[in-house]
Structure 1
Amino acid sequence: MTESDAEVRSPAACRKVTLGTQVYEALCDRLVGGELAPGEKLSLRNLADSLGTSVMPVREAVSRLVADEALEVSPSRAISVPVMTRAMFCELTTVRVAIEGFAVEQAAYNHRARDLAILSAHDAAFRHECNAMIPDRVAALRANRDFHFALYAAADLATLMPIITGLWLKIGPVLNLDMRLSSQRLAIGGAEAQHARIIEALRRRDGAEARAAITRDIETTAGLIASTGRLTP
C-alpha cells in the first residue's frame, strides 16, 4: 500500500465533516475575526440566510458556541454576543499572555521554512493596510488574525490550538471592535512593529525574544482597547 493509499484509507481522511460543524466553524471565524460585535443580537434565520443553509445546523452550531461561552441565550431565547467586562478582559489578556506567549516561544524552536513564508505573507498584507491612505479594516482584521493563527500553528503543538481558539472566541469581538470602528489603531497600535520583531526572532530561533514581542503586542493592544471606555465596568 502506497503512502497516498494510507492517507485515503486512514480514519482522519475518511472522516466526514457535518454541515453543523461547517456552520460552527464559519461562526467561529466570524467571532474570532471581529465580524460580530459585543452585545450584537443574532437571528437564527438571518445567520442561516447569510451562510446559505437551513436553520437546523445553525441552531446546532449556536448551541455549541453557547457551551463554549462565545454566545449567550437570554431567558426569552434571544441570542447575542456577550458583552465584555473590564475584569474579564483583563483576565483573558493575562491568560493570553501566558498561553500565546508559550506558543510563540515554541514556534521559534519548531517552525519550518514554509511557516516563515506564510507569516511573511500575512505580515505583508497587514502592513499594506497599516500604511494605506484609506485602509480596508476588514482586510486588516483578517490579515492580523491569519498572522496570529499561523504563528501559533508554527509551534507544531496541536493541543494548543483549541485552547487559543477558545480564548479568541471570547475576546475576538472586543479585541477587534476598536480596529473595525476606526483605522486609528492601525497607525498607532504598534502591531506592525511587533509582528516584524516576531518574524526576526523566529528566523534566529530566539524563543525568549519571540515571546517578549508577542507579550508586548497583546499588552499594548489591550491597553489601547481599555482606554477607549467601551468595556463595561
Structure 2
Amino acid sequence: MNDAITTLPLLERRTLAESAYAHLRELLVSGRVAPGERLSLRDLSEALGVSVMPVREAVSRLIADRALEVAPNRAVRVPVMTRAQFRELAQVRAGIEGWAASLAATTRSPAQLDGIAAAEAAMRKARASADPSIAVALNRDFHFAIYRAAALPTLLEVIGGLWLKAGPVINLDLRHSNDRLSAGHALRCHAAALAAIRDGRPEAARNAVAEDITRAADFIIEKGGLPEAPAG
C-alpha cells in the first residue's frame, strides 16, 4: 500500500487531537470551568463531536502542562490552588504581563491600538450587564489584545501558559457576580493601560497591567474563595 495512504489516518488523528487541545485550552483560559471541577472524557468527546481518543490525547497534554490533574480516584479535574500558590502565580503574571504591556506601548500598530480601545470600551459596558459571565471573555480579550501588540510570539505563548493555570481562578468570581467589576479597580487599571499604550509610555503601561493583576488577586483572596492549604 502507498505510504502516503497508510499515514493519512494518523495525520487525521493528530489534527483532531490538536483541535481538541485548542478547544480545551480555551475552556480553561476563559474561565468557563471552575477549580475542582471534574471533566468527563466522554462528555467532552460528545461536546466536540469526536471520539474519546483525541480528547484523551488533549487531556494528557493539559495534565503535562499542569493545567489539569488526575485526582486520587483517577478523575480528571481542574486543579485547586491555595492562596499562596495563587499569590505566587499573580506575582509572576504581574512581572511578565506587565513587561508585555510595556512593549506594546512602543510596538503597537494603529490597528492594534484600535483593538485594545474597543476591548476596553466593551469591558466598561459590561459593568452594567445583568450577565456577569460576559465580563470573563471581555477581560481576556482586553489583556490579550495588549499582549499580541507586544509582537513577541514566544512571550504570548508563555502568557497563554500562565492563563491556563490562572484562568479558572481569576474568572471564578466574575462568573457568579460583578462585585470585582463594580469595585472599579479593573476598569480604572484598564483605562490607565490603554492611555499609556496610546501615549507610548511603557512604564505606565507596565504599572497599570501589573496593578490590575495584583488587585484582582487581592480581591479574590480576600473574598475567601481559595483554601489556605492543599486538600487532603
TM-score scaled to structure 1, two decimals? Answer: 0.89
Structure 1 unmatched runs, 5+: 1-14
Residue 133 of structure 2 contacts residue 176 of structure 2 at CA under 8 Å; is this kept in 1?
no
Alignment partner of 2:97 out of 84, 91, 100: 100
The 2-side partners of 1:203 and 1:125 are apart by 17
Match of 1:186 in 2: 181
Alignment pair present for 1:208 and 2:172: no
Q: Runs ≥4 in structure 1, deviation > 3 angstroms?
A: none
The 1-side partners of 2:46 and 2:125 are apart by 33
Match of 1:148 in 2: 143
The 1-side partners of 2:206 and 2:37 are apart by 34
Residue 189 of structure 1 contacts residue 221 of structure 1 at CA under 8 Å; is this kept in 2?
no
Match of 1:20 in 2: 17
Aligned-residue offset at 1:87: 1.1
The 2-side partners of 1:21 and 1:202 are apart by 34
Residue 35 of structure 2 contacts residue 169 of structure 2 at CA under 8 Å; is this kept in 1?
yes
Structure 2 unmatched runs, 5+: 1-10
Equivalent residue letter for 2:78: V
The 1-side partners of 2:62 and 2:73 are apart by 18
Q: Number of paired residues?
A: 217
Equivalent residue letter for 1:46: D
Match of 1:10 in 2: none
- CA deviations over 1:106-152 (Å, ceiling 9, x no partner): 010111001111112211221111133x2x22221111101111110
Alignment pair present for 1:81 and 2:78: yes
Equivalent residue letter for 2:76: I
Aligned-residue offset at 1:56: 1.1
Alignment of 1:127-166 (within 5 A): 127-132=124-129, 134=130, 136-166=131-161
- CA deviations over 1:81-118 (Å, ceiling 9, x no partner): 00011111011011011100111000101110011111
- CA deviations over 1:52-99 (Å, ceiling 9, x no partner): 222111101100000000000134321000001111101101101110
Match of 2:63 in 1: 66
Give the 3-state SS of the residue equivalent to 1:41 in structure 2.
coil
Aligned-residue offset at 1:205: 0.6
Alignment pair present for 1:125 and 2:126: no
Residue 100 of structure 1 contacts residue 152 of structure 1 at CA under 8 Å; is this kept in 2?
yes
Alignment partner of 2:169 out of 167, 174, 180: 174
Residue 189 of structure 1 contacts residue 224 of structure 1 at CA under 8 Å; is this kept in 2?
no
Give the 3-state SS of the residue equivalent to 1:69 in structure 2.
coil
Equivalent residue letter for 1:45: R
Give the 3-state SS of the residue equivalent to 2:171 in structure 1.
helix
